[in-house]
Amino acid sequence: MMKKKPAWLSILPGNLDPSRFTLDQLRNVKAAHSFLSERIKGPPGFAEYMRAYRFLLFFGIACVAENKYPALTRCWKDLERLFMRDPAFEDGVFVQSWVLMDFPFGPERQTALDYFEEFLEGTEAGPGFSRFIDEARKSRLGLYQDAGRTKTVANFRELISGRTISAFPSVDAYGKGEILLTRAIRHGEQAFLWGHPKGFPKETKSQIENMVLDKLFYFFEETTPEAQFEAFMKLAGPYWMSCVTKNDAIPILDPDHYETYLDRRA
């Protein structure tokens, strides 16, 4: 039986297969990436960010295909097996963004995003991606509760931290007070909710907060509860994936599961 191509690959226009590009080919942006000039609908800045994300995705897949960074390859292939074909993650963003933006596999805890920035140095396209790279580096998963919205802005308050954000109202299917597990990437005074958020009823707020607080000890090396929470939401991506997957056969992963992909697990 013919294998169906994962739905998330539809994010790449023109039926381009990213695994067929080498890193050297990727460097020749004009020849390899006509999609970088494709018209993308959305609020100001969205097209800029989406093009940059697509190129980051190509870069990451090329690195995996060449096994340039073995820890990244292990991480990608394991999460691909567990989650990337799951309908819950077919947007091509939730899992892939964590792997590329948050997973610290380099000797100085560099991510694929850091190596992507190095890769772009000296290229014609590089400066056009700098804002996305800077804001993506600061981003992480968050638990954001709806705090009201208008036609032009959606307001959220993060559980535990109490941080507030104003986002472009790109998500319609959520209820009043609903809690969204999502990544927010800033653009000016507002933020984009990156990918399809995973929703929880407002009645589960205390349960979710207690669940997170009970697991902060996984990041005991951080000196304050605030820093532990930041580390938890930045690094526990596979844990959250296992919480919201539609595959009941997958166990709940530990918040520090990312360490299993490294060569230095204690």
Whether the per-residue pLDDT at 25 is higher than 90: the answer is no
pLDDT at 19: 54
Q: How far apart are CA 155 and CA 166, in angstroms?
A: 5
β pairing state of 141-149 and 190-200 = unpaired
Give the model confidence (pLDDT) of 152-168 as tens digits. 889 999 999 999 999 98
What percent of the chain is modeled with pLDDT above 70?
83
Instruction: Give the residue, 154 or 124, on which the prediction is more confident.
Output: 154
Q: How far is CA 231 from CA 37, 79, 89, 115, 220, in A?
A: 36, 20, 23, 21, 10
Structure tokens at 175: 């209820």
Give the model confidence (pLDDT) of 71-80 as tens digits. 999 999 999 9
Give the model confidence (pLDDT) of 203-249 as tens digits. 999 999 999 999 999 999 998 999 999 999 999 999 999 999 999 99
Q: Tell me the whole-structure pTM to 2 decimals.
A: 0.87
Q: How far is CA 249 from CA 36, 82, 101, 208, 223, in A?
A: 39, 10, 27, 22, 36
Contact 237, 98 (CB under 8 A): yes
